[in-house]
Amino acid sequence: MSGAAFASAANGRKAIFITGAASGMGLETARLFAAQGWFVGAFDVNQIGLDRLRDELGADNCLARRLDVTDREDYRAALDEFAAATGGTLDLLYNNAGIGRGGPFADQPWDGVLAVVNVNFVGVLTGIHLAIPLLKATPGSLCFTTSSSSATYGMPMIAVYSATKHAVKGLTEALAIELKPYGVRVADVLPALIDTPILPEGAAANAPKQGVFRAIPPREVAETVWEAYHSDRLHWYVPRELVRLDHMATLEPERTRDAMAAGTLFATIDADVAAATAVPVEATAG
């Protein structure tokens, strides 16, 4: 399809560029925004999933293209195609693509370590760096990234994944200040246990049925992205009570470490929330 055809498909609608759009949170976000009348740019390494999404949304409502976020020139080309589709606007950049590797850090193969860093952080850097001109050119734009509950306190057995998500959170805070004079908002979402393909097999089924680390459907994250576009809030927590872990990790890092090592952290957080010892969730969380 030509750039002119893409532009006709966008037809002046607001537009969202989503990485990791073929499954999980990205897929649900694509569905929600399309249902709200937005033009959707859906990007992923999973071509089969993208083809299914294009069939579901309709070719006139989306640009579905394979993208490796670790390939800067491929990313540049994808943004160029998207800009041709929208007439040079980008209302919402959703940096969602990510991978996970579990196990003790000392046992991780080095190429696996670098893969997590390159997808989860370098890919985010690349996308934002290339998209800033489009974001600046679009009034009210939002640069939004998937961070993680593991960006509140470093999580054992996913140390590198956790480190990349801490980096995303810090980048979000810094760029929110840098880009504010241009009218570009920057924010992130910190999900806990979301029932997506990135989880180990059986993790969602074996998760607690209640509490902060219950398994949550990815649709809740998509709804958070929608809410974030209509807000100026910086960090969004899914579920909302996850903000307690962020407070605890900041104010009581040794207590957090010891509770995590003892396997009592999640129960501690749930008890604190139940006892309303945290700052009221409604005042702080997304």
Looking at residue 6, its amino acid is F
How far, in Å, CA of 64 to CA of 25, rounded? 16
Angle at 142 between CA 198 and CA 32, to 5 degrees: 55
DSSP strand E in 139-268: where? 142-146, 185-191, 235-238
How far, in Å, CA of 205 to CA of 243, rounded? 24
C-beta of residue 133 within 8 angstroms of C-beta of residue 98: no
C-beta of residue 53 within 8 angstroms of C-beta of residue 21: yes
| H or E stretch at 160 | helix 159-178
Q: For residue 90, give the nearest of 17, 12, 182 by alpha carbon.
A: 17
Q: Is omega for the bond preceding 133 within 30 degrees of 0, making it cis?
A: no
C-beta of residue 90 within 8 angstroms of C-beta of residue 142: no
DSSP strand E in the chain: where? 15-19, 39-44, 62-66, 92-95, 142-146, 185-191, 235-238
DSSP strand E in 23-96: where? 39-44, 62-66, 92-95
Report the C-alpha dihedral over residues 121, 125, 126, 127, rounded to 10 degrees: 100
The one catalytic residue among 75, 153, 161, 237:
161
Active site residue 161: yes
Q: Which residues are catalytic?
A: 161
